[in-house]
Amino acid sequence: MPTFEVRKTDLAARLGYLKTKSGVVETPAVLPVIHPFNQIVKPIEMERMGYNALMTNSYLILKKSKAIGRTFEVHDLLNYKKTVMTDSGAYQLLEYGEVDTTPEEIINFETNIGSDIGVILDTPTGLTRNKKRAEETVSKTIDAAIRSIPLFKDKNILWTGPIQGGVFYDLIEKSAKEMSKLNFDVYALGSPTQVMEQYDLEQLLYMILAAKRNLPLDKPLHLFGAGHPLTLPIAVALGCDLFDSASYILYAKRGAYMTESGTKYLDDLKYLTCECEVCSKYFVGELKNSKDRVRLLALHNLHVLSREIKSIKQAIYEGRLWEYVAAKSRAHPRAWTAFKHFSKIKEYLGEGTPLFKSCGLYLCSTPDEHRPEVENAYKRLIRNIKINKKSLVVYFSKTNDHTFLYNLRNTFEKEVGMNSEEIQFCVAPLPIAIAPIEVCDIYPFSQYDISLPLDKEMEKMSIRKFKQFLSKYKFKKVLLIDHSNDKYKQIINWFTKEKTIQAKKVVTDRQTERILKEFTSL
């Protein structure tokens, strides 16, 4: 039985179940990082908030064990019976330059303390711009993996293979390819923390892509050190399944209050805008002056992260992850910059996006015209629809109700008779496509809501699609019916100037008899 089961997808995100020996973790999931011997927020409190997995540091436990001559079982140590993932000391290696252990010792120790998900002792790349140094970290991590695998004797433990390479995408690709040959249960992208601290979400996007495109689809991807409300939606949409972070406590220690759109300092707040247990009991001044301020802020921050990951899951379930990420990304310019790059990776995002959804599309502004559902629908039309008719009647409306066009076709069939077979009727839900009436009720040609008038980029995309449609099918006569109240004005202006059509006309009349008369006069 597989340890990771995917139940639903949207973009590159997956709703899934990761099975460990201590229970099932629903993904995507955030694992709060806790210090094994200094727990300001207890694991049992995290469990009550809905966290079914957490992470702690096996290297710190190893050092303590050596110092006092005592062995530990990690679940007993933390008083937590659910899934525990243990890091290997790589963070200390990145921070201090060395650790007093070996890959073999860490694997044996993680096995002995009962870890559910273990991590090999990798060598983090960090934010170095020295490519030679980055290559060394990749090579050392691969070597550590090869040395560690023979020690994976407890088959109940899931082992994690870290991917290194830092900001060098080719090295991330190399690392991912080599690590994927070693068949780990989980893969993890290392060294993103410093990139995320700089809010360089564009670079993070391409780091994730470099890894994901070279890893097996049936294994979850963990993003080390990600625990921010703006990072999580983008990372999940790109295909990350697991996250760990100590941000909740690190932020609390410096007086930072998480919100759904970022972080604010307590000193800058007039109101607590959250309804969690902490914010419901305290005013800003009371929280600032509380002796338990750090702990209370940490509890609040954990609540925000829990709510964020639940909101992301709900968006995946509803098929509205694109809309959710777009709305979240508006909260910060660098998040929006990263989101705009989704238009450049639409084929990748389209692989996990269902062809049909139970919800309609929302098209508000650029880059919504590039969302996978739009791209997939347009490509299917152009590839599969064959039209051998001389005339086109195309209907522009500000709604997705096509009743008028159906009635118009019926009128044409009665009045024109056999000649109506030479007329192709289409709707124009641009920027999606020009869609023949025969398929206009198929998703998404009538399941949409578009903000009109279109912005400039959407207009350009719409004109390109309209032009391609006319060029492919070479109609001799085109009647354009405009019931959009000038919402498609620029596109229709382009049409009136188009010189390749022998006979064309734009009408705004709503009486079918008059429209028929205008058509016959062409």
How far apart, in whole angstroms, are the C-alpha atoms of residue 520 and residue 316? 49
Cβ–Cβ < 8 Å for 442, 466: no
Crossing angle of helices 456-473/372-384, nearest 10°? 10
Question: SS3 of 474, please?
Answer: coil
- Is the link from the previous residue into 444 a cis peptide, with omega within 30 of 0? yes
How far apart, in whole angstroms, are the C-alpha atoms of residue 155 and residue 331? 44
Pairing of strands 361-363, 448-450: parallel
CA 443 centroid distance within chain = 22
Type of residue found at 505: K
* 87 counts as catalytic: yes
How far apart, in whole angstroms, are the C-alpha atoms of residue 51 and residue 404? 52
Cβ–Cβ < 8 Å for 312, 324: yes
Which residue out of 87, 116, 122, 368 is catalytically annotated?
87
Rg (CA), the chain: 28
Type of residue found at 502: Q
Q: Which helix (H) or strand (E) holds 392?
A: strand 391-397
- Compute the Cα dihedral for 269, 275, 276, 282 and give only its sign: positive
Q: Which helix (H) or strand (E) holds 274?
A: none
Q: Is 254 buried (19+), middle (13-18) or exposed (0-12) by CB count in 10 A?
A: exposed
Q: Is 198 buried (19+), middle (13-18) or exposed (0-12) by CB count in 10 A?
A: exposed
Residues labelled catalytic: 87
